[in-house]
Structure 1
Amino acid sequence: MSYNLLKGKKGIIFGALNEMSIAWKVAELAVEEGAEIVLTNTPVSIRMGTIDELAKKCNAEVIPADATNPKDLDELFTKSMEVLGGRVDFVLHSIGMSPNVRKGHSYDDLNYEYLKKTLDVSATSFHKVLQSAKKLDAINEWGSVVALSYAAAQRTMYEYNDMADAKAMLESIARSFGYIYGREKRVRVNTISQSPTVTTAGSGVKGFDSLIDFSERMSPLGNADAQECANFCITLFSDLTKKVTMQNLFHDGGFSSMGMSYRAMSQYNKSFKTCDDCE
């Protein structure tokens, strides 16, 4: 059911790769709610994924851009305004990647060149997106920019590795840039700390299935899935949240407020019945 929450609005969606992507779900729902959109990803991701199918479904143009390259971003915003017939109203940053995770480097044995790449792709790119948009005055007053984060920015999560540092930096950028963008242009900037979600990127984290199960047991409402995250994104793009900015908003079924749940404790106690020598 559509509520026309984004009727007449225009936006740019970063990071849709395939149907598993949160960005894919956001794009579909944004159009369903009345928006016109442009889709973007790196050229290699466009070749690897199925974004052309999404573009056809959403009647959207795909504009290749490397979010770590300021020149690409300037061209993206300029061309998007041409395609959409004016400034945009919302932007989704759904980008993250860690070479250290992909290569199996533990956090106490990082490759620092890989770390630079992790931070550039997963966090600094957010600053570059915001800086390019502000420089080109590409976002309308009361526009909304949202980036996807995770609770590892505040808590240590087993094997989340240097992506945790990137998420912490991402959230800091939202606060620092959000103040400037809000003060000068009335543009709001927020991050969503989403439940661990089955995506192509997330599945690369060691023990991800166990992490999802643990979060499910800990969260009183259970994990939020990709479609539910899309729903939340749409509310932040809409005029219903015009005064929400510089926030990291937890969308995790209550996980972030939990210490120990009954379900998690029950599973923990069961482990001792099958492991006499565990320490």
Structure 2
Amino acid sequence: MSYNLLKGKKGIIFGALNPDSIAWKVAERAHEEGATLTLSNTAVAMRMGETQKLAEKLNTVAIAADATNVEELKNLFNKSMEALGGKIDFVLHSIGMSPNVRKGRHYSDLDYNYLDKTLDVSAISFHKVLQTARQLDAINEWGSVVALTYVAAQRTFYGYNDMADAKALLESIARSFGYIYGRERNVRINTVSQSPTVTTAGSGVKGFDRLLDFAERMSPLGNATADDCADYCITLFSDLTRRVTMQNLYNDGGFSNMGMSVRALQQYEKGLHEDCKCGPAEDKHLFD
């Protein structure tokens, strides 16, 4: 159902790789709510993914840009303003990648060159997007910028690796830039901490299927889906949240405030008859 929450608004969506992507769902919902928008991803992702297919569906353009490259970001914002006929009202940063995770490197044995890449792609790119937009004066007053994050920025999760560090930095950037952009131009900046979600990126996390099940059992409302996240982002892009900024907002069915649920406890008790043969002697990276 459409409420015309974004009627007349213009936006840029980063990271819509395929129909499983949260960014894909956000782009579809934004379009349904009356927005016009452009899509962006790296050139490689656009060749390998289905971004162009979504652009055709939404009657818009997909503009290749590496979000870690300032010159490409300038080109993206300028071309988007040209294509949309004016400045931008909302931006979604849905970008994340860890070579350490992809290569199976453990947190206690990181490749630091990989770590630099993780931080640049998953967090510093957010600063580059914001700095570029501000320098170009590309975002309208009362515009809204949202970046997707995860509760591992505050709590330790087995297997999330250096992505936890990246998400912590991402959230800090939202607060620091949110103050500047808010004071200067009334632009609001928030992060949405989403439930574990089956996406191309999320599925690469070690033990993801078990994490998904655990979060479902722990959350009073169950895991938030990609569609739920899209709905939440739409409210943050809309004028209904004009005074919300510098916040890390949880869209996780209540997981972030839980200690132990009955469902999780019952599942745990079912396995108590089996002793867990765990310890450093078994695997030096067991706890990574």
Give the TM-score of the pair, scaled to structure 1: 0.99
Tell me how far apart the structure 1 counterparts of residues 191 and 276 of structure 2 sit (CA, whole Å): 43
Match for residue 171 of structure 1?
171
Give the aligned residue type for 1:127. H
> Which stretches of structure 1, 4 residues or more, deviate above 3 A after TM superposition?
276-279
Match for residue 67 of structure 1?
67
Tell me how far apart the structure 2 counterparts of residues 227 and 145 of structure 1 sit (CA, whole Å): 19
Unpaired runs of at least 5, structure 1: none
Equivalent positions of 1:1-279 (< 5 A) are 1-273=1-273, 275-276=274-275, 278=277
Is the CA contact 1:16–1:23 (under 8 Å) kept in the aligned structure 2? yes
Following TM superposition, by how much is the alpha carbon of 1:277 offset from its aligned partner in structure 2, in angstroms?
Answer: 6.2
Following TM superposition, by how much is the alpha carbon of 1:276 offset from its aligned partner in structure 2, in angstroms?
Answer: 4.4
Q: How big is the alpha-carbon RMSD for the aligned residues of Structure 1 and Structure 2?
A: 0.8
Tell me how far apart the structure 2 counterparts of residues 277 and 59 of structure 1 sit (CA, whole Å): 54
Give the aligned residue type for 2:89. D
Tell me how far apart the structure 1 counterparts of residues 170 and 60 of structure 2 sit (CA, whole Å): 27
Give the aligned residue type for 2:64. P
Unpaired runs of at least 5, structure 2: 279-288
Instruction: Please give the per-residue CA displacement for 1:19-74, whole angstroms capped at 9, x wherever unaligned.
Output: 00000000000000000000000000000101111011111101100000000001
Give the direction of change, closer, same or farther, for the CA distance of 1:277–1:212 in structure 2 (3 Å limit): closer
* Count of residue pairs brought into register by the alignment: 278
Instruction: Please give the per-residue CA displacement for 1:174-208, whole angstroms capped at 9, x wherever unaligned.
Output: 00000000000100000000000000011111100
Give the TM-score of the pair, scaled to structure 2: 0.96
Instruction: Please give the per-residue CA displacement for 1:103-149, whole angstroms capped at 9, x wherever unaligned.
Output: 00000000000000000000000000000000000000000000000
Tell me how far apart the structure 1 counterparts of residues 209 and 49 of structure 2 sit (CA, whole Å): 23
Tell me how far apart the structure 2 counterparts of residues 59 and 2 of structure 1 sit (CA, whole Å): 18
User: 3-state DSSP class of the match of 2:115?
Assistant: helix
Identity percentage over the alignment?
A: 74
Instruction: Please give the per-residue CA displacement for 1:86-110, whole angstroms capped at 9, x wherever unaligned.
Output: 1010000000000000000000000
Give the direction of change, closer, same or farther, for the CA distance of 1:277–1:116 in structure 2 (3 Å limit): closer
Match for residue 282 of structure 2?
none
Tell me how far apart the structure 2 counterparts of residues 97 and 85 of structure 1 sit (CA, whole Å): 32
